[in-house]
Amino acid sequence: MAARTPTSSTKRKRKANTWKDIDQSVKPKAMSSASERRVWMGRAKLFGGVLFVGAVLAAALHFAPQIEGGPEMITKAGESLPVATIDVHTDGNLERDYLLRTLDVPEDANLLSVDLDEMKRRLESIGQVESAVVSRRFPDALEVTVEERTPIMRLLVQRSNGETLNLFVDGDGVVFEADRLDPRISRRLPFLFGVNLAKEEEGFSDVGDIEPLADLLSEAQAVAPHIYSSWRIMSLEKEDRLIAKGKFVKEVVFDRNSDFRDQLAKLDYILDYHRGNGSGPLKRIDLTLGDQVPVTL
């Protein structure tokens, strides 16, 4: 049988697909409210930045002539700040007038031009001054605060020309002159013996290893002021001993490594006992042997 030839009615022709056959009418996705806010915020920031840059440029153009004359304006302002007041505070007995003379601030001094470091140096060159702070207080004042040394003993030093010099020692062993110290204070201080002083460029060398003696004096003032006030001489002659000489006992020997309050209590008991017996001043009391206290009449 002969093969059947397809007719035009049954024959299908396949047409090739191209990009033109794709539906081009794509609808855009709707933008959310949050996205819209981000877009507007971005535009607002950009606009604000442009405005800020413009304002800066405008201000620079406006103030440029004034900035150019700035140093002259500052100088003129400084010239109008005279020192009208000097407030002085001290924890000791140095007189205000004496400190002002030491500062030597000119009458026409300007608050901005005064040399604070130099004024501090002048004050601290006074032996009696431990530290000083000088500061500006606007608009027209200087603030001066002085911390004075607290002497605990006196020293007598003889100069090469034979002149006797009165010196003082504080709790740190610093030796200093204090010609303006209150006599009521200086007269009550015991003298210090048994130390070697060396003259230095500014004053004298410090007294070394003075802490135990300073502690003894402080303890005696606190718990036995009647004993402290009787002492005339304190000595560091012996390495492990502290010696006090006074009107009740010619010599009391303390152990620098033992409790001072305990030793003072023993001394007070012995003095009371002998005073009750009508005894006169004792020659020597040795407090370095614990509970055994030798007493020499």
Domain match, 176 and 240 both:
yes
Q: Residue 60 has which token pair?
A: 């620079």
Which range (26-35, 93-102, 150-159, 160-169) has the least confidence?
Answer: 26-35
CA-based radius of gyration for the chain: 46
pTM over 0.85: no
Looking at residue 5, its pLDDT comes to: 46
Looking at residue 197, its pLDDT comes to: 87
Looking at residue 30, its pLDDT comes to: 52
Domain match, 192 and 264 both:
yes
Q: Is residue 87 in a domain?
A: yes
The pLDDT tens digits of the residues spanning 253-293 come to 999 999 999 999 999 999 999 988 887 889 999 999 999 99
3-state SS of 193-224? ECCCCCEECCEECCCCCCHHHHHHHHHHHHHC
Q: Which domain holds residue 207?
A: 151-296
The pLDDT tens digits of the residues spanning 16-60 come to 555 455 555 555 555 556 666 666 666 666 666 666 666 666 666
Which range (117-126, 146-155, 198-207, 211-220) has the least confidence?
Answer: 198-207
Q: In the chain, what percentage of residues exceed pLDDT 90?
A: 61
Domain match, 158 and 290 both:
yes
Looking at residue 235, its pLDDT comes to: 95
Looking at residue 1, its pLDDT comes to: 44
Give mean pLDDT, residues 186-204: 90
The pLDDT tens digits of the residues spanning 74-112 come to 455 556 799 999 999 999 999 999 999 999 999 999 999
Domain match, 176 and 256 both:
yes
CB crowding 32-58: b at 16 or more within 10 Å, else e? eeeeeeeeeeeeeeeeeeeeeeeeeee
Give mean pLDDT, residues 172-181: 94
Looking at residue 11, its pLDDT comes to: 45
Q: Is residue 18 in a domain?
A: no
CA atoms within 13 A on the CB side of 148: 19
End-to-end CA distance of the chain: 168
Mean pLDDT over all residues of the chain? 84
The string of DSSP letters for 18-42 reads -GGGS---PPPPPPPHHHHHHHHHH
- pLDDT band, residue 179 (cuts 50/70/90): confident
Better pLDDT: 61 or 5: 61
- pLDDT band, residue 12 (cuts 50/70/90): very low
CATH code assigned at 204: 3.40.50.11690
Q: Residue 70 has which token pair?
A: 């700035």
Q: In the chain, what percentage of residues exceed pLDDT 70?
A: 73
Q: Decide which of 100, 124, 148 is a domain's last residue.
A: 148
Q: Is residue 74 in a domain?
A: no
Question: Are 231 and 190 in contact, with CB atoms under 8 Å apart?
Answer: yes
3-state SS of 36-100? HHHHHHHHHHHHHHHHHHHHHHHHHHHHHHHHHCHHHHHHHHHHCCECCEEEEEECCCCCHHHHH
Q: How many domains does the chain have?
A: 2
Domain match, 121 and 169 both:
no
Looking at residue 168, its pLDDT comes to: 97
Looking at residue 6, its pLDDT comes to: 47
> 249 - beta bridge partners?
282
CATH code assigned at 143: 3.10.20.310
